[in-house]
Amino acid sequence: MPEDRVKVILEELYRRGARPRKRISMRLLTAASTAASVAGLIVILVLARGAEAPLMSISDVYGNYLMNYAVVRLQGVVDGVPYLDNSTGRLTIRFALDDGTGTMNVYAYQPVSLELLRLRRIPFPGDIVTVEVQLRVRETYTYGILQSAEQIEIESPAGEPVRVKKLTTDMEGLLVRASGAVTSSRLVSSGILFTLSTEGGEITVLAPELLRFYDQERYEELVEALRPGALVEVEGIVYLYKGSSPEIVVRGFEDLKLKPPEKPVVAKVADLPGLVGKKVKLQVEVLVEEYVSSSREYTLVLRDETGSAAARAKREVLMEADPFALSSGPASVVGRVAEGGLVVVEAIEPAAAWSGRYVRVGDLGTLEEGVFVAVRGSVRDLVKRATFAIFYLDDGTGSIKVFIPVSVLQRIGFEIEEGAELSVAGYTDVYRGELEIVVFSPLGVRGG
């Protein structure tokens, strides 16, 4: 109880005998501990200066929980396009490093990521990179965190780029240059993916989203400029997407040179053999022969009073054309003439607006296969699957099967329902002996 303590205090106050009390100078202790701390820190600092992070292999550190928080150096080749994300308001950069023993992701968080961006010190596929990272070892994955923008060394492929007309898988990591016309372009999660038509074929090019972080305005201009028909010269590294599809990855805006658009030559079909390599503009009737799913292209027949020619067009090109207007009459087709007079179509535009004329279902059998038609009626026997929708349109004169692929169905903007009154426009096709209308564009479906 407290009284005991009072007793102890009283014993301190009144004492018999000259018990020498240990006196420790607090000032001395304070000064000594301060001085010794500083001396100790200096010793540690001197020793630390000579302690380099060990160069380790990914297989040694991956999954090794004893290495959690270790600072190590890794060296390898960058595998894949760097990924940038600022959805949370803070920029994160991630790239994968492959040192031959394994692959590991390296992250840079803000503000290091901002500094890397500012210094343009972001590695690309094919770059040999040495990084000093702090490891984080989780149960199922291990990654490294870059602590400073100074702790990454990048060795990019150097030398003169090799001019190519087509890509093969053995070109991985090679610095190349190619030029041609854009035949299709779309925005994907990793950037602008476009196809370049060269004399040797087609080359896929990726302008990575990283460029948007470099200069948002310029990137948006690029999105607009990289339309089918644009003439471009690109330089970049060949990267194998998913390990098998080669594409050129551009590393900066300076690696993408857009040439002034070529003015198309107004021509007739009969003129085409003499215009190989040129960009032409034709006023023709367009018929669809077939859709080649592997290349996502349509093979077409272009016909005018001077003859007919074969053509091919990317799915995206046809998707942008108004099928209702195409059903009214000829179209203006812009494209580049390839060997043999084949036209690689870059744009199709109906020559005139839609007349409003519908074909009666009962008359469809009299028409040529592959023509553009517009019909209307009630939806019957609607069947929806993962990759398409099929229904019959009944206008009182008969029923016609309508096929809509899922790529179009998803973009229509409304649900097609059994019994609904619908207008559709597309091309006629015979599938397994049955005549059907293939709707190739979301513009080809209207309610009522």
Partner 1 sequence: MLDPLSVVLWALFGVAVGLLFSWMPGFHVYNVIALLTATGLTFTFMPSDAFPFFVLGAIVSFAYASTISTVYFSVADDTMIFMLFPTQRYLVVGRGHEAVLLTLIGAFGASLVLAASLPILPLVLPTLRDLLNPYIPLFLASLVVFMFMSEWLKVGDRVENPRLRIAVAWTQALGGIFVFLASGVLGFILMYTNFLPARVAYVRLTPMFLGFFGLPWVLLNILSDVRIGEQITEDTVATDPRALLNGLFGGVLGGYIAAFFPIITGGMGALVAGHMTSQRGDDTFIVSQGANRFVYYVGAFLFLFLPTAAITRGGAAWLVSGVYQPKTYREYVYAAGVLLLASGVSFLGTLLLSKAVARVVTRHYKTISYAVAGLLFLISWALTGFMGVVVMVVASLIGLAAAFFNTRRSYCLGGLIFPVLLSMTGYTEVFASLLGL
Partner 2 sequence: MRGLVHFLSGLAAATFFRGLLMDVQRGCLAAVIPAACAYLPDFFDFKFWKFLEKWDYNVDPAPQDPSESKAPKLVKIAELSDDDRYRFYALKGRVLEVTDEGEKLTFLLDDGSGRMRVIALKEDREALLEALGGPPREGDEVQVSGYMDYLDGEKVFFVADAPHPMYVAERIARAIDDAYSKGEVRVKVQTIRMSGDVYRRYIIDLDGENRVVRVAMGPLVTVGGNPLEERGVPEYRRVAEARTKARFVKKYPKPTVIEAFSGPTIGFKREGDVVEEVFLPWHREWSHSFVTGVLVAVIVYILGWLAGYPNTAQLSIASLAGFWLHIVEDQLGFMGGNLFFPFTSRRIPGLGIAESGSAVMNFATAWLMISLMIANLNRFSPKPPIPLPYTTLVLLLSIPSIALYAYAVWRWLRERTKVKAEEIAAKEAMEEEEELGGA
53 binds partner 1 (CB under 8 A): yes
126 burial level (CB within 10 Å; 0-12, 13-18, 19+): buried
Amino acid identity at 3 = E
- Which one of 145-153, 324-332, 375-383, 402-410 is the stretch in contact with partner 1 (CB under 8 A)? 145-153
Q: Determine if 22 is a binding residue for partner 1 (CB under 8 A).
A: yes
* From 22-30, 155-163, 386-394, 399-407, span contacting partner 2 (CB under 8 A): 22-30
One residue of 10, 41, 119, 383 binding partner 1 per CB under 8 A: 41
Sequence-ordered list of residues with C-beta below 8 angstroms from that of 229, at least 6 positions apart, any chain: 181, 182, 261, 279, 334, 346, 347
Tell me how crowded residue 111 is: count the other CB atoms within 10 A of its CB: 12
The residue among 89 and 356 lying less far from partner 2, judged by its C-beta, is 89
For residue 318, what are the CA distances in angstroms to 154, 287, 308?
Answer: 43, 12, 19
71 binds partner 1, rule: CB under 8 A = yes
Residue range at the interface with partner 1 (CB under 8 A); choices 41-49, 230-238, 298-306, 437-445: 41-49
> According to the binding rule CB under 8 A, does residue 148 interact with partner 1?
yes
90 binds partner 1 (CB under 8 A): yes
By C-beta, is 2 or 243 nearer to partner 2? 2
Cβ-in-10-Å burial (0-12, 13-18, 19+) of 274 comes to exposed
- Which of partner 2, partner 1, none does residue 16 bind (CB under 5 to 8 Å by kind)? partner 2
Phi (first) and psi of residue 225, to 5 degrees: -75, -30
Collapsed DSSP state (helix, strand, coil) of residue 308 = strand
Both tokens assigned to 315: 């799915």
The nearest distance, CB 302 to partner 1, in angstroms, is: 55
Site residue total, partner 1 (CB under 8 A): 56
User: Binds 65, which of partner 1, partner 2, none (CB < 5 to 8 A, cut-off by type)?
Assistant: partner 1
Q: Taking CB within 5 to 8 Å according to partner kind, which of partner 2, partner 1, none is near residue 339?
A: none
CA-to-CA distance for 169 and 192, rounded, in angstroms? 21
Does 8 contact partner 2 by CB under 8 A?
Answer: yes
Residue 185 and residue 179 in contact, taking contact as beta carbons nearer than 8 Å: no
* Interacting residue with partner 2 among 25, 244, 366, 387 (CB under 8 A): 25
d(CA 393, CA 301): 27
Least distance in angstroms from the C-beta of 5 to partner 1: 4
The single residue listed with the structure tokens 């989780």 is 138
By CB under 8 A, name the one of 58, 62, 72, 210 that touches partner 1. 72
- The amino acid occupying position 315 is R
Measured from the CB atom, the residue of 1 and 66 that comes closer to partner 2 is 1
CB of 114 to partner 2, least distance (A): 7
Q: Tell me which of 3, 160, 217, 434 binds partner 2, using CB under 8 A.
A: 3
Residues 102-121 that bind partner 2 (CB under 8 A): 110-111, 114
**Residue 89 engages partner 2 in binding (rule: CB under 8 A):** yes
Residue 292 near partner 2 by CB under 8 A: no
Instruction: Report whether the peptide linkage leading into residue 111 is cis, meaning its omega lies within 30 degrees of zero.
Output: yes
Q: How far apart are CA 191 and CA 438, in angstroms?
A: 31
Secondary structure element (H or E) that encloses residue 331, with its range? strand 331-337
Structure token digits, residue 389:
């929708």
Pairing mode, strands 421-431 and 434-438: antiparallel
Location of structure tokens 């074969």: 310
| DSSP-assigned states of every residue in 178-192 | EEEEEEEEEEETTEE
Rounded to whole angstroms, the Cα distance separating 202 from 442 reads 27
Report if residue 54 touches partner 1, rule: CB under 8 A: yes
Task: For residues 285 and 367, give the distance between their C-alpha atoms in angstroms, rounded to a whole number.
Answer: 14
Q: Is 87 in the site for partner 1 (CB under 8 A)?
A: no
Give yes or no for residue 138 binding partner 1 (CB under 8 A): yes
| Residue 11 binds partner 2 (CB under 8 A) | yes
Stretch of residues binding partner 2 (CB under 8 A), selected from 4-12, 203-211, 312-320, 411-419: 4-12
Q: How far is the CB of 124 from partner 1 (least distance, A)?
A: 23
Q: Is 2 helix (H, G, I), strand (E, B) or coil?
A: helix
Binding characters for partner 2, 69-88, by CB under 8 A (x = yes): ------------------xx
Cα–Cα distance between 415 and 243 in angstroms, integer? 38
Comparison of 28 and 47: residue with beta carbon closer to partner 2: 28
What distance lies between CA 346 and its chain's CA centroid?
22
| Residues forming the site for partner 2 (CB under 8 A) | 2-3, 5-18, 23-26, 87-90, 110-111, 114
Site of interaction with partner 1 (CB under 8 A) = 1-2, 4-5, 8, 21-22, 24, 26, 29-30, 33-34, 36-38, 40-41, 43-45, 47-49, 51-54, 56, 65-72, 88-90, 110-112, 114-115, 134-135, 137-140, 147-151
